[in-house]
């Protein structure tokens, strides 16, 4: 076997390593060019990470900060799914209900969830409330939109067929329309999670005493770029892992979607 | 077997136009009534004191605040128009530069293997970090002025531009490319005559996502560090405990964002007509 063939065969193993090393070397070179304080080298960031994981920041260990952020996201996400999915589906199913809810929803929809932060703080104080609320808004809108779209674009032929075979309206909804809308719903499931993850960050940046957003704001206040970067890496890793976990879950729940990788 | 196929024939008369109009009016009546009901309920909740004036204000007061903010700079140092303008300048600067760099980069990444290999690792390493997480670093690097905000928005808009252009051109039907090459097109000619046109719809999807992302991120950046702009306006509203300012600000943010998306849709309809797409 030639070298090229070996490389090709092991590309799954080889490419990530290659890409990481390219990335790290570019980073290192940039560090040499820009220098010092501003852009710490990967090694400095590594040292900072070791330091941060061994001490308490703002009274909590890094693991606790991660736990706080995750708890907020997951709570808000589940709440968003529990309310957004039924609402979106019913809006897609029932024309009258759609007409009733649509105007209010359409006025609120274009407002980015992050713009809710100030009013959420007025409403819920500065505790867990506003953070969960912001993440909830972010997830909720995406859940509604995707389940609505999924429902509206259900092939009318399927519904007509069910009706021809004498299915009641209820059966048409639960046995035909909802399963048919699942692919679109699951597209939303993924987006809603990354949206909530982004929202929790924003909420924690604006005002919090714990969470990963607090970590990077703390780094900024102490003028420590390495600390910010460690925080950003943690955020990136958690965001990516959440996406991977969800994709696994999606493959279990929606086994007919084989195009998912 | 004969009676099995006896389906009733449904007479299909063309619906008179007036019926159509009536139906449309009826549809909208429901919407209008429900929206009015929503406003009235909101007004009542505030007027009856169920929710305090430091948490929510009735819609009637929103209208007067809105009219007041059109001309007065108090209490936050700028009229609504000035804040909107400030935000738009930052958002469009970041978005525009992201499109100028991101779309060509994504297209080249999808088309030329070496570019793909060079850029993808960096891109993949940076991508999972939400643009908002860059705000503290950007503030340290660039201060709190236009450059920092433009940088963050650039990042936010850049990623969807690249991903969608990349995917769009990767999905170019290989048959088309091969036909072009058989007829003697160079790799470059095939790129801009076949690859790019076929990627256009995906590119526009990317632009829309980018625009959304840049508007959202702008608000976040302005909440954290700004002295003008709509994000700053709502942040000031919170500091002053004035829900009317916050809600007027939020609605303006939503409206401006929706207008920009609408504008982009018009451009898409103009330049990415389906005729060109279905090669």
pLDDT in tens, chain A (261 residues): 566 666 666 666 676 677 778 888 888 888 888 776 778 888 888 888 888 888 888 778 888 889 989 999 999 999 999 999 999 988 888 888 888 888 888 888 889 998 898 888 888 887 888 899 999 999 999 999 888 888 888 888 888 888 888 888 888 888 888 888 887 788 788 888 888 998 898 888 888 788 888 888 888 888 888 888 899 999 999 988 888 888 888 777 766 655 543
For residue B116, is it within any domain? yes
For residue A10, is it within any domain? no
Between A18, A38, A213, which is nearest B141 by CB? A38
User: In this predicted structure, what is the pLDDT of residue A133?
Assistant: 92
Number of domains in chain A: 1
For residue B53, is it within any domain? no
Residue B99 pLDDT grade (very low, low, confident, very high; cuts 50, 70, 90): very high
What ipTM did this prediction achieve?
Answer: 0.82
Instruction: State the DSSP string of B165-224.
Output: HHHHHHTS-HHHHHHHHHTT--HHHHIIIIIHHHHHHHHHHHHHHHHHHHHHHHHHHHHH
For residue A77, is it within any domain? yes
B129 and A22 within 8 Å at the Cβ level: the answer is: no
Burial profile B158-185: b = 16 or more Cβ within 10 angstroms, e = fewer: bbbbbbbbbbbbbebeeebbeebeeeeb
Q: In 3D, which of B135, B127, B136 has the Cα closest to residue B153?
A: B135
Range of the domain at B159: 70-277
More confident residue, B61 or B183: B183
Whether B257 has its CB under 8 Å from any CB of chain A: the answer is: yes
For residue A119, is it within any domain? yes
Number of domains in chain B: 1
For residue B194, is it within any domain? yes
Best of A115, A164, A204, A228 to disrupt the B interface (most B CBs within 10 Å) is A115
For residue B138, is it within any domain? yes
For residue A3, is it within any domain? no
Most confident of A26-35, B54-63, B82-91, B143-152: B82-91
For residue B35, is it within any domain? no
For residue B30, is it within any domain? no
User: In this predicted structure, what is the pLDDT of residue A261?
Assistant: 39
Which residues of chain B does A123 touch, with a Cβ-Cβ cutoff of 8 Å? 55-56
pLDDT at B3 over 50: no
Q: Which of residues 88-117 of A touch B (CB under 8 A)?
A: 96, 99-104, 107-117
B137 and A19 within 8 Å at the Cβ level: the answer is: no
Between B31, B136, B220, which is nearest A216 by CB? B136
Whether B77 has its CB under 8 Å from any CB of chain A: the answer is: no
Whichever domain contains A197, its CATH number is 1.10.3720.10
Residue B109 CA to residue B96 CA, distance in Å, equals 20
Between B136, B234, B251, which is nearest A220 by CB? B136
Span B208-234, pLDDT tens digits: 889 988 998 888 888 887 788 888 888
What is the phi/psi pair of residue A60, to 5°? -130, 150
A115 and B224 within 8 Å at the Cβ level: the answer is: no
Chain B closest CA to A20's CA: distance in Å?
Answer: 6
pLDDT at B140 over 80: yes
A22 and B231 within 8 Å at the Cβ level: the answer is: no
pLDDT at B245 over 80: yes
Q: Which of residues 134-193 of A touch B (CB under 8 A)?
A: none
Residue B234 CA to residue B250 CA, distance in Å, equals 7
């Amino acid at each position: 076997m030639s070298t090229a063939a070996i490389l090709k065969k092991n590309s799954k193993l080889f490419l990530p390593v290659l890409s990481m090393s390219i990335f790290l070397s570019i980073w290192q070179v940039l560090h040499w060019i820009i220098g010092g304080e501003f852009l710490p080298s990967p090694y400095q960031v590594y040292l900072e990470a070791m330091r941060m994981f061994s001490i308490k920041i703002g009274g909590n260990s890094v693991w606790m900060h991660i736990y706080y952020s995750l708890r907020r996201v997951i709570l808000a996400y589940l709440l968003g799914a529990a309310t957004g999915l039924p609402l979106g589906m019913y809006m897609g199913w029932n024309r009258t209900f759609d007409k009733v809810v649509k105007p209010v929803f359409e006025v609120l929809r274009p407002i980015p969830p992050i713009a809710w932060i100030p009013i959420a703080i007025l409403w819920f104080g500065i505790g867990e409330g506003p953070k969960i609320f912001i993440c909830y808004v972010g997830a909720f809108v995406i859940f509604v939109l995707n389940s609505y779209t999924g429902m509206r674009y259900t092939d009318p032929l399927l519904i007509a067929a069910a009706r021809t075979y004498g299915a009641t309206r209820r059966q048409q909804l639960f046995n035909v329309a909802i399963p048919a809308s699942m692919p679109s719903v699951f597209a939303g499931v993924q987006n809603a999670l990354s949206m909530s993850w982004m929202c929790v960050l924003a909420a924690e940046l604006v005002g919090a005493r714990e969470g990963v957003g607090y970590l990077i704001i703390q780094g900024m206040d102490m003028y420590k770029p390495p600390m910010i970067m460690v925080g950003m890496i943690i955020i990136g890793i958690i965001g990516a892992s959440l996406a991977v976990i969800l994709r696994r879950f999606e493959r279990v729940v929606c086994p007919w979607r084989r195009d998912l990788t | 077997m004969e009676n099995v196929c006896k389906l009733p024939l449904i007479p299909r008369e063309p619906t008179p136009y007036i019926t159509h109009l009536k139906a449309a009016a009826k549809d909208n009546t429901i919407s209008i009534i429900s929206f009015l009901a929503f406003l009235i309920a909101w007004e009542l909740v505030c007027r009856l004191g169920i929710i305090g004036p430091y948490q929510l204000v009735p819609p009637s007061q929103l209208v007067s605040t809105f009219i007041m903010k059109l001309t007065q700079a108090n209490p936050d140092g700028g009229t609504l128009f000035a804040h909107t303008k400030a935000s738009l300048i930052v958002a469009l600067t970041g978005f525009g530069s992201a499109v100028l760099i991101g779309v060509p980069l994504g297209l080249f990444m999808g088309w030329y293997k070496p570019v793909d290999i060079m850029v993808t690792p960096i891109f993949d390493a940076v991508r999972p970090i939400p643009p908002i997480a860059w705000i503290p670093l950007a503030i340290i690097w660039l201060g709190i002025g236009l450059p920092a905000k433009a940088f963050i928005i650039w990042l936010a808009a850049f990623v969807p531009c690249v991903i969608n252009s990349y995917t769009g051109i990767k999905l170019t039907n290989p048959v088309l490319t091969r036909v072009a090459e058989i007829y003697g097109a160079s790799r470059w000619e095939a790129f801009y005559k076949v690859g790019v046109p076929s990627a256009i719809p995906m590119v526009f999807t990317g632009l829309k996502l980018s625009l959304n992302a840049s508007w959202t991120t702008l608000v976040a950046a302005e909440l954290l560090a700004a002295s003008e702009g709509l994000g700053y306006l709502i942040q000031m509203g919170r500091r002053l405990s004035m829900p009317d300012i916050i809600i007027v600000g939020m609605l303006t943010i939503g409206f401006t964002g929706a207008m920009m998306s609408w504008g982009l849709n018009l451009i898409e309809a103009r330049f990415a007509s389906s005729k060109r797409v279905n090669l």
